[in-house]
Amino acid sequence: MRLVGVAMVRNEADIVEAFVRHNMTVVDALTVVDHGSVDGTTEILSALRAEGLALTAEPESELAQHQPEVLTRVARTAFGRGADVVFPLDADEFLLPPSP
Beta-strand pair 55-59/85-89? unpaired
Residue 10 scores a pLDDT above 90: yes
Model pTM?
0.91
pLDDT at 85 over 90: yes
pLDDT for 97 beyond 90? no
| pLDDT computed for residue 86 by the predictor | 98
For the stretch 28-79, pLDDT in tens is 999 999 999 999 999 999 999 999 999 999 998 877 778 899 999 999 999 9
Q: What value, to the nearest 5°, has the Cα angle with vertex 32 and ends 54 and 64?
A: 165
Domain residues of the chain, as ranges?
A: 3-65
Cα angle 13-73-66, degrees, rounded to a multiple of 5:
60
Burial (CB < 10 A; 0-12, 13-18, 19+), residue 96, is exposed
| Res 20 pLDDT > 80 | yes
For residue 91, how many other CB atoms are within 10 A of its CB?
20
